[in-house]
């Protein structure tokens, strides 16, 4: 049986403003009706697996759990105490998998890739299973469709024992255009997909040989795990001390057991707006349109509208992305510069780098619909049966108005049941709590007023979700 290991870290900054640090690319619905994480699990249905491991960071744990719950998927969710690149992340997963299984075959996948031909993907994975059982470390190489300069490449060597795969000859960095053309013309090179398969013990043996420092740190981190609700927490201090490195550098470029299985499946890493234009459904003028958009005399554009009407006239080769609190307009051939733009915004302390106006929480979400001097207005949605932490604020008072549903409110020493059009006022410093005891979502308006309205003015006294 296979144990899929889904890497769901990362921030996807090249897809800003849709992808942000606290709600990144892997949780977005960029193609089809599923988020990229959900789509990754969806394409596993035809493969022989029972359990799976998702690796994500602390900030994204509730988003990942909720999206998987929506699809009735219950994997182990292993939390990285800190970002240390792919080699330590996979090492944690391999060590954890060995605790519950007899040396499983790990299928390592990114949570944010697009694969159009699921059947061809299943065929390639099944082809790789016997190789993994014989101790090989498989990398899946994408059959290139163009001289792409944004991907690393893998050069194949002699055919492997099964004659359908190849011994890895070399890993090469992102080339310039002339070298990329030469790679394509040779027929010996594949795009490096970042997808792998191997037995847990095979990977760990190679890691211990080539990067014993990473191996020892991860063994220490996994030796003292703790369950926190639905999440598995590794030892934070041990993992924080672990060096950073990728699977490629730490193991695949050094091992003598690397094999490449060609993959021709309509793959994209969906890593930029131009990449999404390439794979998107285009109209007769070559435009990819998402949302409420009206165009006139426009060609080969990518336009995404999240919350309002977007209009464009006479534009070509342009990307326009609209969200509730930010708009990006950029030439399609400059989309790689978005990382520099995001870094500039980060240096300015702009909150739009991290959060959307609409923020998801384990109990529901809130949308900051208005703000001004000494006030802020939020629309709050609480899922049925969920509750916010018992808390208080040093600098702000709050006024809650129920729009729909039922609210159970603890306001100081009073317990209230509020329904539509009813409200309560919470003074500064008063301990309070909000709960939805009903069967439908609770929708309410919160009006904050005070000298400081930051999210860090929350003193949690008791929290169902274990947040500090």
pTM, rounded to two decimals: 0.91
Phi/psi at 225 (nearest 5 deg)? -85, 155
Is residue 26 a contact partner of residue 111, using CB atoms and an 8 Å limit?
yes
The predicted pLDDT at position 390 comes to: 97
The predicted pLDDT at position 217 comes to: 95
The stretches in the chain having pLDDT less than 70 are none
The predicted pLDDT at position 466 comes to: 81
The predicted pLDDT at position 404 comes to: 98
Domain ranges of the chain: 2-268, 273-344, 358-462
One fold for 2-268 and 358-462:
no
The predicted pLDDT at position 150 comes to: 87
The 3-class secondary structure across 299-339, one letter per residue, is ECCEEEECCCCEEEECCECEEEEECCCCEEEEEHHHHHHHH
Q: Output the CATH code of domain 358-462.
A: 2.60.120.10
The predicted pLDDT at position 164 comes to: 87
- Write out the two tokens for 144: 């290139």
Determine how many CB atoms are found less than 10 A away from the CB of residue 134: 14
Assigned CATH topology for domain 2-268: Spore Coat Polysaccharide Biosynthesis Protein SpsA; Chain A (3.90.550)
């Amino acid at each position: 049986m296979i144990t899929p290991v889904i890497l769901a870290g990362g921030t996807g900054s090249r897809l800003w403003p849709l992808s942000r640090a606290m709600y990144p690319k892997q949780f977005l619905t960029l193609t089809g009706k599923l988020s990229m994480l959900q789509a990754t699990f969806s394409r596993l249905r035809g493969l022989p697996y029972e359990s799976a491991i998702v690796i994500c960071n602390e900030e994204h744990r509730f988003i990942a759990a909720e999206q998987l719950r929506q699809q009735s998927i219950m994997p182990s969710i292993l939390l990285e105490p800190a970002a240390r690149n792919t080699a330590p992340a996979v090492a944690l997963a391999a060590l954890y998998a060995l605790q519950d299984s007899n040396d499983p075959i790990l299928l390592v996948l990114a949570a944010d890739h697009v694969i159009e031909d699921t059947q061809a993907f299943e065929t390639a994975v099944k082809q790789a299973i016997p190789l993994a059982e014989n101790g090989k470390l498989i990398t899946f190489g994408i059959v290139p469709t163009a001289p792409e300069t944004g991907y690393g490449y893998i050069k194949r060597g002699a055919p492997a024992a099964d004659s359908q795969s190849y011994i890895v000859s070399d890993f090469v960095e992102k080339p310039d255009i002339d070298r990329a053309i030469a790679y394509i013309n040779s027929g010996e090179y594949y795009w490096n997909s970042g997808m792998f398969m191997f037995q847990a013990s095979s990977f760990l043996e190679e890691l211990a040989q080539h990067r014993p420092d990473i191996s020892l740190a991860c063994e220490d981190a996994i030796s003292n795990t703790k369950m926190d609700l639905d999440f598995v927490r590794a030892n934070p201090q041990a993992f924080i001390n672990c060096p950073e490195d990728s699977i490629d550098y730490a193991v695949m470029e050094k091992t003598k057991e690397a094999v490449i299985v060609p993959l021709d499946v309509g793959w994209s890493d969906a890593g930029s707006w131009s990449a999404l234009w390439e794979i998107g459904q285009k109209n007769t003028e070559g435009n990819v349109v998402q949302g409420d958009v009206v165009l006139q005399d426009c060609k080969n554009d990518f336009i995404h509208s999240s919350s309002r009407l977007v209009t464009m006239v006479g534009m070509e080769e342009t990307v326009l992305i609209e969200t509730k609190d930010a708009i990006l307009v950029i030439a399609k051939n400059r989309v790689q510069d978005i990382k520099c733009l995001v870094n500039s915004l980060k240096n300015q302390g702009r909150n739009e780098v991290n959060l959307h106006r609409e923020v998801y929480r384990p109990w529901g979400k809130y949308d900051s619909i208005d703000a001004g001097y000494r006030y802020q207005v939020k629309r709050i949605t609480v899922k049925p049966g969920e509750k916010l932490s018992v808390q208080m604020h040093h600098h702000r008072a709050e006024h809650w108005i129920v729009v729909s549903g039922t609210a159970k409110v603890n306001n100081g020493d009073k317990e209230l049941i509020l329904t539509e059009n009813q409200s309560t006022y919470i003074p500064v410093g008063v301990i309070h709590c909000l709960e939805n005891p009903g069967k439908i979502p609770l929708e309410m308006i919160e009006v904050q007023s005070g000298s400081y309205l930051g999210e860090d003015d929350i003193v949690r006294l008791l929290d169902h979700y274990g947040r500090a």
